[in-house]
Amino acid sequence: MSVLAQSVTTVATPGLWAGTVGAVLALLVLDFVITRRPHEVSMREAVGWSAFYVALPLAFGAYIWSRFGSQTALEYYTGYLVEKSLSVDNLFVFMLLLAAFAVPAVLQQRVLLYGIVGALVLRGIFIALGAAALDRLSFAFLLFGAILLATAVKILRDQRKGHGHTVDVDTMRSVRLLRRVMPVTDDYRGARLFVRENGVRAATPFALVVVAVFVTDVVFAVDSVPAVYGITGDPFLVFATNAFALLGLRALYFVLQGALSRLVHLGYGLAAILGFIGVKLVLHWAHGIWPGVPEIPTLASLAVITAVLALVTATSLRATRNLTEKLADAPAAGAVRR
């Protein structure tokens, strides 16, 4: 790395870029076709699509390995693991938004799909901006590291206070602004964003929740893009890891809907991972100025991230085991209905 700036390079040819972007767009079109008729998602359907969206990035990683070597593939797989773990955090917020807006079950996957499209667009913008910053600014790695360390501290504080994932619809500026701009109907009108009532154009609650999801996408993009740039400086790998992690969110939501509430320690894990990558970025910046400063290799990063995720999953399941057993023993009449 130059002391002045990091020269951004990519292993991908224009053809590979075009093919990957085309495949992502084709999968999005397929998702819109699948959800064109609103319906409740069965567990069988959700598991099937989740399996597909896990197999796809794994197979793509094998292709990267065969064409560009083990080091590039290792960066890809590590970046994908980071993005996938952060995407689970997205699901927490999506779950709370869907509940806060009382989104009917038949419309939930369409809301999630809009959220994924918004996230992909925003990630693409942030990836381009990140590449430009790394190519021109000597302190870009330091800046990215500081962003991740600050985010880690915020997540840790929220987790300790017990409100790491809370949503108050009435206080969201985006929702309040939309309500000021135009009237909002009292009920959902299918998947329609806007309707005309008494000659006046009005938004539906579906439009409100989509706007809220888009706003949260901005927040997540600020965290996730610097995080994966801490694993690889290749914009193509950054895009691929983000795209594959996001594409499977719609199906993964319905698979993990019941289990998400049990991951009570996930916030601690994400704070640790983001903090670790932040330190990695700062060391990488310092190494360019003082060569004696050590760097953290990608393989060590993969080991740390995997260990943290395994640990917080195990401790979360253990911490909620007694609660799960009590709920299982409770009378059916007392069960919470969604």
DSSP assignments along 75-95, one per residue: HHHHHHHHHHHHHHHHHHHHH
Return the pLDDT at 258: 64
Three-state SS string across 223-252, please?
HHHHHHHCCCCCHHHHHHHHHHHHHCHHHH
* pLDDT tens digits for range 32-73: 888 877 778 888 888 898 999 999 999 999 999 999 999 999
Return the pLDDT at 333: 44
Contact (CB, 8 A) for 231 and 122? no
Contact (CB, 8 A) for 275 and 157? no
Report the C-alpha gap between 93 and 100 in whole angstroms.
10
- List all residues 6 or more positions away from 50 whose beta carbon is below 8 Å from its beta carbon: 248, 251, 252, 255
Higher pLDDT, 131 or 167: 131
pTM reported for the whole predicted model: 0.81
The single-letter code of the amino acid at 155 is: I
Contact (CB, 8 A) for 24 and 155? no
166-192 mean pLDDT: 75
Report the C-alpha gap between 58 and 56 in whole angstroms.
5
Among 6-10, 59-63, 122-126, name the most confident range. 59-63
Q: Given its phi and psi angles, is residue 219 left (phi above 0), alpha (psi -120 to 50 degrees) or beta? A: alpha
Residue 332 has pLDDT above 50, yes or no: no
Domain borders along the chain are 14-329
Contact (CB, 8 A) for 259 and 118? no
Report the C-alpha gap between 167 and 96 in whole angstroms.
6
Contact (CB, 8 A) for 68 and 12? no
Report the C-alpha gap between 245 and 237 in whole angstroms.
12
Q: What share of the chain is helix, strand, coil (3-state, %, to 5)?
A: 75, 5, 25
Return the pLDDT at 4: 35
Q: Helix (H, G, I), strand (E, B), or coil: what is residue 8?
A: coil
Q: Helix (H, G, I), strand (E, B), or coil: what is residue 155?
A: helix
Return phi, psi of residue 179, to 5°: -65, -30
Mean pLDDT rounded to a whole number for the chain: 83
**Two tokens at 23?**
């495949």
DSSP code, position 194 = E
**Two tokens at 267?**
């916030």
Q: Helix (H, G, I), strand (E, B), or coil: what is residue 147?
A: helix
DSSP code, position 184 = B
Return the pLDDT at 167: 57
